[in-house]
Chains A and B, each alone.
Chain A
Amino acid sequence: MSTAETEIRRAPEPATIVEAGPSAEGRPAAAPAPVARARWTFWRLLGSELGLTFRRPRNLVMLGVLAAVPVLLGVTLRLMTADDEGGVGGIIAAAAGNSLMLTFASLSFLVTLLMPVAVSVVAGDAVAGEAGAGTLRYLLAAPAGRTRLLAVKYLNAVVYGFAVTAVVALAALVTGLALFPVGPVTLLSGTTVPVAEGLLRILVSVGYVGAGMAALAAVALAFSTFTEVSIGAIAASVVLVVVSQVLRAVPQLDGLAGYLLPTWWNDFDGVLRSPVDTAALGEGLLVFGAYALLFGSVAWARFTGKDITS
């Protein structure tokens, strides 16, 4: 820079500097018990986030569609078995025989694609949607804090993932109870358990599938931090699910299947063994945890270092 320019830059600094306003001193430095307060405000932001997610028509429509599928499945099954032709096997056939089995059938049907799509929409939109709309800059200037906001966004997506799972299970359970005989549940391994235990096993499988959706949410959230176009992050996440499903169907790529997230989602049927196949469930949860940790770190690294130019 030239000296001349420096001269101008250091232009006459004025006698007219206005005194600092009283507000500068008249404000208590910090509220008492900052830790408790920080925790409280975190839940407040999460509450705001959940309010947005569960009031947004798009997200409610997805929940509605997911609730409708088990009903349709149940009604179809009822009509089919009324003819008493048989021909369907495994978990689906079992659903016709017992009211609780429709829940497992619905989960295993929807977890392959439809539930992951719903979770991808919410998690993929989480950061990219705010960036695209420009609201992200105002949240961060508020200041929401990047790590704090990302944690809220992730927890919100996790809650939505569990909500999706619970809605499917609940719709299936109600439909099953309405259309099919209530009684002791015959498991895949042939043993029979009482209704109460059947319900407990449904609860366990909801927890397991919800954890699987939470892992997917971390993946979609990581994608979401890389773009300002939410449809891009959503599509990337859905494509990943579809491609994984295709790859694991190819027998020659057997060795790869273990590394693919969707491979583990259907393992909730471990609860239909006797005794419950806790090894399979545990292994699945470990994979979900690894996925969440890996992609959560990617999302964090990206989001905390990113220039917000939208």
Chain B
Amino acid sequence: MTTVTHEAGAPSGAAPPSGPAAPAIVTRGLTKRFRGGQVAVDTLDLSVPRGSVFGFLGPNGSGKTTTIRMLLGLVAPTSGEHALLGLPLAAALPRVGALVEGPAFYPYLSGEANLRRFDAADPTAPAATVRRRVGEALDRVGLTAAAGKRYRNYSLGMRQRLAIAAALLGPRELLVLDEPTNGLDPQGTREVRALVKEIAADGTTVFVSSHLLAEVEQMCTHAAVMRAGKLVAQGTIASLSGGQPVRVRIETPDAAAAVRVLAALGLAGVHIGAVEGGTEVTAELGGHAPERINAALVGADVPVRGLAVVRPSLEDVFVGLTGEGFDVDG
């Protein structure tokens, strides 16, 4: 397995690795400056390992969709390069299923006819098997019963599922899903997540962009974070949240006393915050056992109303990295 591009000092101009061992997506210095000078994507170095479920996170307007459009060859980069599956774009695209900025179909055609239309556009798709493949794709997203219905009459959730079916028309090695749960009700969202897990279980790499943190935390093995067109972090979910220390949180009316005890124990990064009906003191847990901290607090007559160990969530990491809140409740 080639390790991914980001060994320190890897020259940004080197050609992306090719062949089946290449990462599913590699970008080097990818930049898009739109007319008018607005930089949508700024020297992006992204590496998506094969077989991963890769969350591409960032607030709305941070350059996620522009990046995806460049990856799919819809938008020409101003500078930099990119490769999908280590292949030239035209050879890679038939192996890539994509959902970009919501579903788009011919309203006067049935769901089935729509899928046939997009299948006809793929020069590698065998016409002989189109009926079977369209049937399987519709079955996979649960639209078999609505196959003959005009797209015009589809509900929002059905439209989204049809778009996913279109992305599954052939044998795919990479699935690029841009905000796949946008506009779906909670039931639809669950269905899409289950589908993504199922697809990933078959060995397909899934690259999913989202502004919803919970979504990425639940589905993904890896993630990257965008902020104002720049990549601010990427790695496994574990390594991303591993960057932040585990903290202990004590709820008490006597914050000053608690701070003295924690300092005496040698805990770093002590903070005092207000909570409803009192104050809370937090500190980095370090190697300390929480029960010893509790004993020390009680021994020093600090009134303890609550004590908890707080593991860092992705949310803390991302808020720290992007400097703004995510729409976490979705």
Give chain A's interface residues, CB within 8 Å of chain B.
1, 5, 8-14, 16-25, 27, 31, 37-38, 40-42, 44-45, 47-48, 52, 56-57, 133-135, 137-145, 148-149, 305, 307-309
Contact = CB atoms under 8 A, between A and B. Distances in A.
Interface string B105-131: 111110000001111111111110000
B121 A308 contact: no
Contacts of A20: 1, 20-21, 50-51
Contacts of B243: 11-12
B94 A143 contact: yes
B205 A21 contact: yes
A307 B75 contact: yes
B18 interface: no
B238 interface: yes
Nearest to A47: B120
Contacts of A8: 232-233, 321
Contacts of A307: 69, 74-76
A31 B73 CA distance: 24
Given A48-B116, A48-B117, A18 B106 contact: no
Nearest to B8: A10
A138 B90 contact: no
A10 B123 CA distance: 38
A305 B232 contact: no
A48 B205 CA distance: 30
A138 B98 contact: yes
A305 B21 CA distance: 31
A171 B121 CA distance: 35
Given A137-B104, A309-B75, A143 B235 contact: no
Given A23-B204, A27-B171, A18 B49 contact: yes
A11 B233 contact: yes
Contacts of A42: 123
Interface of B is mostly: loop
A11 B233 CA distance: 6
B194 interface: no
Given A44-B120, A145-B123, A307-B75, A14 B236 contact: yes
Counting chain B CB atoms within 10 Å of each CB, the highest count among A22, A41, A47 belongs to: A41
B100 A137 contact: yes
B203 interface: yes
Interface in B122-180: 122-127, 166, 171, 173
Sorted nearest first, the 10 A-B pairs with minimum C-beta distance are A21-B203, A134-B104, A18-B51, A14-B236, A48-B120, A142-B121, A143-B93, A20-B50, A144-B121, A308-B74
Contacts, number: 173
6 contacts: A8-B232, A21-B50, A23-B202, A134-B102, A137-B69, A141-B74
Nearest to A56: B108
B121 A23 contact: no
B234 interface: yes
B6 interface: yes
B231 interface: yes
Contacts of A142: 93-94, 118-119, 121-122
B101 interface: yes
Given A23-B203, A48-B116, A142-B118, A11 B51 contact: no
Interface in B1-53: 1, 3-4, 6-8, 20-21, 43, 45, 47, 49-52
B222 interface: yes
B69 to A, nearest CB: 7
A230 to B, nearest CB: 13
Contacts of A31: 124, 126
Nearest to A14: B236
B245 to A, nearest CB: 15
Nearest to B170: A142
A139 B73 CA distance: 12
Given A9-B234, A12-B235, A133 B104 contact: yes
B261 interface: no
Interface in B270-323: 321
Contacts of B205: 21
A25 B127 CA distance: 23
